[in-house]
Amino acid sequence: MQRFKKILFVGRGTQDESHGLIQAISLARESRAELTAVHVCPDLPDQLQPYKDTLLRSLDQELTAAVDRARDTIGLEPEQIRIVTEIECASTPVMHIIQRVLREGYDLVVKEADEGPDRNGFRAFDMQLLRKCPGAVWLCRPITRSRSEIRVGVAIDPASHESADHELSLGLLRLGRSVADTCSRSLTIVSCWDFEYEDFLFESPWSSIPREEVREAVAGTQRQHRHELHRVISESGISGDYDVHHVRGHPSESVPFQVEELGLDILVMGTVARTGVPGFFIGNTAENIVQKLACSLVALKPPGFVSPVRVE
């Protein structure tokens, strides 16, 4: 499996975060990685400063107890993995976490997803991590299935020939394979294609292109995209059990639909790319996808991504 070296679990002390903590500890065990579990809370206003020490002690006790419970749940002996626990306060907690990732070189951040009112999508803290955190981000939601039944999917667009986009697709496939190998070992690969000119060419009264040629262009686009998809899967070197779902439609609609239709528990996808390739998971497209997800999300940045956050 893909090995992580330094994992940071981020808790906020505002909800049950046991699922995320269990996932972080399990990943650290699988990767033999360093694991730090931190509760980060906002600075209290001046009038509440006398209560700060009491608050921090309570958070520290709860985090330590939560780590012990998570160890017991997965049957992990204390000597098998060392977990550092910390409590921190910051005026802007999410920026504080991203700066710490930049400063200390964590390659994975694990966090329990903040629940929105309809249980879909992700809230502000999580979206900031997805946009700006340089390493991989794993946003966990509760999964009711047993570990051996957890369904993992990966969403990729293989059509771009830009180096960063291509490397991102390879990285997503390999990471998806690694995640699947820790649970059901079955991986679902989702990729979307479309022919954006079809409606215009069929419906415009000024189009003189024969309908049969338009249909052939559509079929050719589908064949080419499928060829690129299987080529990048082959290049990734992944093996094992996987299914390929090559679906027609825009990613912002088709990917969430496939996640729900296939009953995926975890989706691996890219959230930022360096180039504006049409249809690629970038900007509004990525945000439209993640805001419709009700599953756990593992997000990866492309090689060479530079966070807009600066270390102070």
Could you count the other beta carbons within 10 Å of the beta carbon of residue 72?
Answer: 9
Predicted local confidence at residue 208, as pLDDT = 63
Domain around 276: 145-312
pLDDT band at 197 (very low <50, low <70, confident <90, very high): low
Q: Are 186 and 241 in contact (CB under 8 A)?
A: yes
- Identify which has the larger pLDDT, 160 or 104: 104
Same domain, 304 and 163: yes
Query: What's the CA dihedral at 111, 297, 164, 177 to 10 degrees?
Result: 110
Please check the confidence at residue 78 and state whether its pLDDT lies above 90.
Answer: no
Same domain, 163 and 308: yes
To 5 degrees, how large is the angle CA 256–CA 258–CA 264? 90
Give Rg (Cα) of the chain. Answer: 21
Specify the CATH number for the domain of residue 18: 3.40.50.620
Average pLDDT of the residues of the chain: 87
Please check the confidence at residue 138 and state whether its pLDDT lies above 90.
Answer: yes
pLDDT band at 275 (very low <50, low <70, confident <90, very high): very low
Residue-wise DSSP of 142-160: ---S-GGG--EEEE-----
Same domain, 66 and 200: no
Distance CA 280, CA 270 (A): 9
Specify the CATH number for the domain of residue 275: 3.40.50.12370
Please check the confidence at residue 207 and state whether its pLDDT lies above 70.
Answer: no
Q: Are 122 and 113 in contact (CB under 8 A)?
A: yes
Looking at residue 47, the DSSP 8-state letter turns out to be G
pLDDT digits (tens, 9 = 90+) for 161-192: 778 888 999 999 999 999 999 888 999 999 99
Task: Please count the CA atoms within 13 angstroms of the CA of 232 that sit on its side-chain side.
Answer: 27
Predicted local confidence at residue 48, as pLDDT = 84
Same domain, 162 and 214: yes
Same domain, 114 and 153: no
Same domain, 120 and 158: no
Q: How many domains does the chain have?
A: 2
